[in-house]
Amino acid sequence: MSGDEPAATRRHSVAADAEVITDPKARAEAEARNGLRQFDLGLRIVEDALAKRAFRLRSSLILSLHREALTGISPLAGNWRPAGVGIEGSRHQPVGAHLVPELIEELCDYVNDNWEAKTALHLAAYIMWRLNWIHPFSDGNGRTSRILSYVVLCIRIGYVLPGSKTIPDQIVDNRKPYFDALEAADDAWKTGIIDLNRMEKLLESLLAVQLTDILDQAAGTHHLEP
C-alpha cells in the first residue's frame, strides 16, 4: 500500500491485537482455569467421537486444544508458532517454523492410517512424543501434547477413562520419567527409527495407577505406588 493514496480509495486490513493478561497473579489464575477448560474440551471430544463411532485426527482439533490452554495468556493461542523455538534444559532443537504445518499433517496421517493396526498405547505414545518433537507452538506444547495423547488413548480404547489421577496430571506431578521418555524417542529418531518403547511403558504404568485409583477408593486400600 502506498502512503500517499487518498483515504477514500484505501482498503487495507486493520488487525486487532489479541488481549493478554499481564498481571502475574491473574495470569496464574487464568492458566489454572484454562487447564480445566482444556481438559473439559478434551472430554467433550472423546464423548463426541464415541457417540459418533468415528474419529479422524485433524490439525484444527490440535489448534482448538491449544487455544483453550492459552486463551488470554498468549496472543498466539490457537496458532502455530511463527518462528523458531528452543526447549530449556533439553538437547532437542525443534524444526523451523515453516515445517510445522506439513509435519502436523504427517502426524495426523500416522494416527489415522494406523488407527486399527496400532495399539491405543502406541498411538498415545506417538502423539506424546511427536507433537513435543515438532513443538508446533511458541508456548503450551507440553500441555497440548499431554491432553491430545490422552484424548486419543480414550477414544481408541473406547471409554472416557475413570480415575481422578489422570495420566496428564500424574506426568505434571512427576516430570522426570516423562522427560527421559521424550529424550529416548528423540535419540532413536536421530537414526530414523520410531522407538516409543519407553514412552509406551511409562503411559502403561500411569494408566495402571489411574485405574487402580478407582479400586483404592472403593476398597479404602492402596494397591499401587504412583
| 195 interacts with ligand ATP by CB under 6 A | no
**Cβ proximity to ligand ATP, 71 vs 132, nearer residue:** 132
- The smaller minimum CB distance to ligand ATP, of residues 115 and 179, is found at 179
Q: Give the per-residue contact string, 151-180, with ligand ATP (x = CB under 6 A; - = no).
A: ----------------------------x-
CA–CA gap between residue 223 and residue 216 (Å, rounded) = 7
**Is 140 annotated among the ligand-binding residues?**
yes
* Interatomic CA distance for residues 146 and 125, integer angstroms: 10
Footprint of ligand ATP on residues 62-101 (CB under 6 A)? 87, 90, 92
The half-sphere exposure of 176 on its side-chain side, counting CA atoms within 13 A, is: 0
CA angle 142, 138, 181 (to 5 degrees): 30
Closest CA to 73 of 176, 167, 144, 127: 144
- Three-class secondary structure of residue 36 per DSSP: helix
Closest distance of CB 101 from ligand ATP, Å: 18
- Is 222 among the catalytic positions? no
Question: How near is the Cβ of 74 to ligand ATP at its closest, in Å?
Answer: 9
Which entry of 12, 122, 135, 223 is annotated as an active-site residue?
Answer: 135
Alpha helices by DSSP H, 7-165? 24-52, 59-70, 100-113, 120-134, 141-157
Q: Is 198 annotated as a binding residue?
A: no
Instruction: Report residue 68 as a C-alpha cell.
Output: 483453550
Subset of residues 112 to 151 that bind ligand ATP, contact rule: CB under 6 A: 132-133, 137, 139-143, 145
Q: Which residue has the cell 486490513?
A: 13
Between 55 and 129, CB nearer to ligand ATP: 129
Annotated binding residues for ATP, written as ranges, equal 139-146
Q: Which residues are annotated as a binding site?
A: 139-146
